[in-house]
Amino acid sequence: MPRKKDEKPTYDYNIYQIPVDKTDEFKTFLEERKFEEIPLKQELIKNPEGFTYTLMFCDKDNQKGSPWVKLLSSCSEWDLIQQLKIYGAALICKNSATCFIVSYGNAHFYVSNYCDYNFGISVAERLVNLESVRAQQNVSHGSKLSKMHMDYFGGAFLS
């Protein structure tokens, strides 16, 4: 949802990197969880690096419901339980050397067994300008309590 009338909406997504040789296994894993491949509008894809794009989408029914909704419903005069859908999507961006997954909704739960956990740290290291980091350490006198605080004043933009 837009924060202000003049701002564009923000969308929640996560970006992961997985090994190229696990791409087909990941896609099969999603299909077993009722994700299906949705065709993309090819005219909207700008492909300077030789990537292929596959969109996997799921809108399955949430038959079990949310445990906290059931709990609140049991304590309320109203029946809060509703028939809901669970939405998720994964955009698989793959070339011969690498594969990125852009996850939306609940799809991030399914990437965890495949992703390279160092990818996010690697991106962060490139964004943070180490010349603009200030560290401050607070030590409590007469105690073993100490606290380190890091401030990051600058960075770079992803191209």
Count of CA atoms in the C-beta half-sphere (13 A) of 113:
10
pLDDT over 90 (residue 92): yes
Q: Are 16 and 115 in contact (CB under 8 A)?
A: yes
Give the whole-angstrom CA distance, residue 25 versus residue 32. 11
pLDDT of amino acid 159:
41
Per the document, the length of the chain is 159
pTM of structure: 0.64
pLDDT over 60 (residue 52): yes
